[in-house]
Structure 1
Amino acid sequence: MASAGLASRLYAGDANINIVGRRKMWFTIAAALVLISIGSFLIRGFELGIEFAGGTSFSVPAAAGTKTLTQDEVSSAVEKAVKQAAPEAAITTTQKVGDGKDASFTVRASALSTDEAKEAKAAIVNDLGVDASKISDDQVSAAWGGQVTRQAVIGLIVFLVLVVAYLIIRFEVRMAVAALASLLFDLVMTAGVYSLVGFEVTPSTVIGFLTILGYSLYDVVVVFDKVQENTRGITAGSTRTYAEATNLAVNQTLMRSLNTGLVALLPVGGLLFIGAGLLGAGTLKDLGLVLFVGMGFGVLSSILFAAPVLSALKDQEPKIKAHNARVLARRSKGSDDVVRDRTRPANATASDVPAMAGGTTPRPGARPAARRNANRPGGPKR
């Protein structure tokens, strides 16, 4: 009941949360996060999976006769065997695949020649006592990873071009620019988390990146659709600035965005924390992390970044500037159409509108002056 009451108050504008008005703060935070991500790209880089960097993959069964091998035992044995065959080589990751008697460990190492791989395989058999026929090794070329990367980049570019074209047709150019900025912010932040955490970049990661783009776009479109509804014909009135109308739209869609995001994150969180974390299904880790981080940032950026960017862009339009100045001038005269913030100076100008430091909003239920005058004796007829 409390959440329903809050949602109703947000929609009506009674529980006004000043999000757009604090856009300078959100932009500062976003810039800091982007700088941290870029710094991680340059310093730490990315942990490329064997599909991208190339290498040799060994598959070792978890059962050695009556003994069940642990991940540490297998990892140590493979590392020792690889070093013996090629002293400059090293293992990168060890993942458990499956469970029970069919479980196995996949160990990825640096690229080895055919003879070196055979020598390492023989050393693993002698060390762990497993059946040689149950150990497999695969050579992966980095050229295949380069091809996957090129295809992913092409897919990303095509997706972004189609998104911009759709948003321009559906909304307008400035909304398309704001939405694109939000999508790029999501990509940079998700990639930054991947770089900082050190998870491997695999084909599953690439698929996850393309998936979160669609999810982020959905949430941005929902917010912008409400912004367009609230700002349609806004310059004909003088009760709200564009920033205030945008902030009201964000408030009206806030509960929907949070609920949708929570519902989407629950199964993805289960995939990441339960499947990959507790059950040890390493193959789910790559996809789970990119989806969880990307969807989370998608929800936040549609609320805290996309709408403020749109407001900042629209406030540069001469028509919107004139409208904002007219609203402030009317407000400074104490018009009964709006409730003037007592903390705002009476000589506030249009440049003060985006700040909305005191959370100034029109009085809920206030009607435009033209509509009230139409009901007065001698007033213009509708």
Structure 2
Amino acid sequence: MSKRNGLAHRLYTGEISYDFIGNAKRFYIVSAVILAICLASLGFRQLNLSIDFTGGSEFVVPTQVTQTTVDDYREVVQDSTVPDLGEIKVNTVGDNQVRVQVRALTAEEINDVTALLAAKAGVPTEQVTNNLIGASWGQQITQQGLIALVVFMALVSLMIWAYFRNWKMSAAAILALVHDLIVTAGIYSILQFAFTPATLIGMLTILGYSLYDTVVVFDKIRDNTRDITQQNRTFAAAANLAVNQVLVRSINTTIIGVLPVAALLFTGVFVLGTGPLKDLGLALFVGMIAGAYSSLFLAAPLYVQMREREPELAAHRRRIERGAKRTKRAADEPAETVEEAAATVSGVSSEPVLSASGTPVDPVRLGTVRGVDLPRSQPQRSTRAARKKDAR
């Protein structure tokens, strides 16, 4: 298939297109349902915060790391008599240490877990170190993360305004970013994946990716809508063409970005079972897909709707719509015959025209008298010759 017949070329030229702007309400409804589910889960199930946020106990055991080390030590802690350990995080440190993290334990519970871990590793209990992680550390991480989020949003708004010279683009982009954050956090709440500092880093990372995709869409919309009032199309039509023109690019970019992230997520969930790869992978995977969706289906329609409320663009749209209605009405009217058209031009009806004495008058002759040159389908005979023939 040649490039001119390819999907990307046909989308770019407008030969085929999907009405993103016209179907915006459908996307708003879908997004509203998704956001409602995510917010409900965040409100009732809440996030499964790791001990980095809630506080807990950490044990470091010296042992030779093998492929089954993580699973073996997790089973040891799970089989202990200590109740309600919550999520047990086990990961290796280098090739000669394993780290176990559980909820905050009492002194007696710490001794029991230490003894089990030392017995598994075959080392004295003195070589198993334990630390208590306070909740204040998690509060500091949360505070710094929120500050970073607010600063990022403010800088993004200023950057988009400075680049496009349009605050409505900034508003649409920020709404799309908020959508991506809520969806990503909601998925963590629904699946009850541990929300760790790595997750927070991943969520801040997806904001940049989502913003990049949105800026690409907005840049094409700006190109297509430059001097829009001088064009024979509405702002919405030009913007919809722009979204279709970058559609293939957005899909390809998303797929290329998601594939390695999916590999990280698979490794973290099914191979390692825990650790930063699992926490970071899910945030990136969900956030990148949500970012591509929001750029095409939310940010662009929101921006178009805000712009089309401007008086100048609203008046331009009405002019285009009136012209389209006139064209359609003219195309729907049946075509007149040559004789009817000629009669209309000359002011002569299709009915026979009578003279003052009641004798029929030739319409073509009458048209000639009135100064209208009517087409003749065949040579015309004079009225006198016709009367002579009839007399015979």
TM-score bin (small chain): 0.7 to 0.9
Query: CA 1:164/1:53 → structure 2, altered by over 3 Å: closer, same or farther?
Result: same
- Distance across 1 between alignment mates of 2:3 and 2:52: 47
1:43 maps to 44
Matched, 1:220 2:193: no
State the shift of 1:235 in Å: 1.6
> 1: distance between equivalents of 2:160 and 2:68?
55
In structure 2, the residue corresponding to 1:138 is in which secondary structure?
Answer: strand
Structure 2 counterparts to residues 190-209 of structure 1, below 5 A? 190-209=184-203
**Could you tell me which residue of structure 1 aligns to residue 53 of structure 2?**
52
Matches of 1:137 and 1:155 in 2, distance apart?
32
Amino acid at match of 1:253: V
3-state SS, counterpart of residue 20 of structure 1: coil
Is 2:162 the counterpart of 1:169? yes
Q: CA RMSD in A?
A: 2.7
Using the size of structure 2 for normalisation, the TM-score is 0.77
Partner of 1:141: 134
Aligned residue number for residue 271 of structure 1: 264
Give the counterpart letter for 1:43 in structure 2.
F
Match of 1:356 in 2: none
Query: Residues 328-356 of structure 1, C-alpha deviation per residue, up to 9 Å, x if partnerless?
Result: 011111189xxx99xxxxxxxxxxxxxxx
Query: Which protein has the larger Cα radius of gyration, Structure 1 or Structure 2?
Result: 2
Quick one: structure 1 residues 275 and 78, their matched pair in 2 at CA, closer, same or farther if it must change by over 3 Å?
A: closer
| Map of 1:240 onto structure 2 | 233
Quote the Cα distance in structure 2 between the aligned partners of 1:276 and 1:142.
26
Greater alpha carbon shift after TM alignment, 40-49 vs 50-59: 50-59
What is the aligned partner in structure 2 of residue 75 from structure 1?
74
Q: Structure 1 residues 160 and 297, CA, compared in 2 at 3 Å: closer, same or farther?
A: same
What CA distance in whole angstroms lies between the structure 1 residues aligned with 2:112 and 2:267? 37
Q: Is the 8 A contact 2:61 2:121 kept in 1?
A: no
Deviations 1:171-194 (Å, cap 9, x if unpaired)?
201111111111111111111111
CA contact (8 A) 2:58 2:130 kept: yes
Q: Partner amino acid for 1:245? A: A
* In structure 1, distance between residues paired with 2:270 and 2:23: 38
Alignment deviations for residues 131-169 of structure 1 (CA, whole Å, 9 cap, x no partner): 135533221111001001101101100110111111112
Could you say which residue in structure 2 is the equivalent of 1:367?
none
Post-superposition offset of 1:260: 1.1
State the AA in 1 paired with 2:188.
Y
Matches within 5 A, 1:359-374: none
Tell me how far apart the structure 2 counterparts of residues 68 and 33 of structure 1 sit (CA, whole Å): 39
User: Could you tell me how far apart the structure 1 residues matched to 2:62 and 2:284 are?
Assistant: 30
Secondary structure, aligned partner of 1:56: strand
SS in 2 for 1:240: coil
Q: In 2, Cα distance between the equivalents of 1:106 and 1:28?
A: 46
CA contact (8 A) 2:93 2:99 kept: no
Q: Aligned letter for 2:193?
A: F
SS in 1 for 2:46: coil
For 1:95, what is the secondary structure of its paired residue?
strand
Does the aligned pair in 2 maintain the 1:62–1:68 contact within 8 Å? no
Q: Would you say the 8 A contact 2:47–2:189 is kept in 1?
A: yes
The separation in 2 between residues aligned to 1:94 and 1:207, in whole angstroms, is 19
Does the 8 A contact of 1:276 with 1:283 survive in 2? no
Identity %: 40
Once residues 183 and 69 of structure 1 are traced to their aligned partners in structure 2, the CA distance between those partners, rounded to angstroms, is 40
Residues 1:181 and 2:182 are matched in the alignment = no
Structure 1 length as normaliser, TM-score?
Answer: 0.78
- Cα deviation digits, residues 66-102 of structure 1 (max 9, x gap): x99665653343245462xxx5x52422334379xx3
Question: 1:191-222 CA distances to partner (integer Å, 9 max, x unpaired)?
Answer: 11111111111111111111111111111000
Q: Residue 23 of structure 1 aligns to which amino acid in structure 2? A: A
For residue 287 of structure 1, report the CA deviation from its aligned partner: 0.8
Task: State the aligned residue count.
Answer: 328
Q: 2:300 aligns with which of 286, 307, 314?
A: 307
Match of 2:223?
Answer: 229
Residues 1:39 and 1:170: Cα distance change in structure 2 (over 3 Å):
same
Structure 2: where are the runs of 5+ without partners?
A: 333-392
- Structure 1 gap ranges (5+): 342-382
- Looking at structure 2, the residues matched to 235 and 316 of structure 1 have their Cα atoms a distance apart, in angstroms, of 14
Contact 1:97 1:104 in 2 (8 A): yes
**Conserved? CA contact 1:205–1:287, under 8 Å:** yes
- What is the alpha-carbon distance in structure 2 between the residues aligned to residue 37 and residue 79 of structure 1? 31
Q: Structure 1 residues 274, 122: CA separation in 2 closer, same or farther (over 3 Å shift)?
A: closer
Amino acid at match of 1:191: A
In 1, Cα distance between the equivalents of 2:100 and 2:143?
26
Question: Which one-letter code corresponds to 1:229 in the other structure?
Answer: D
Query: Does structure 1 conserve the Cα–Cα contact (< 8 Å) formed by 2:14 and 2:241?
Result: yes
Cα distance in 1, alignment partners of residues 62 and 134 from structure 2: 24
Mapped contact 1:17–1:251 kept (Cα < 8 A)? yes
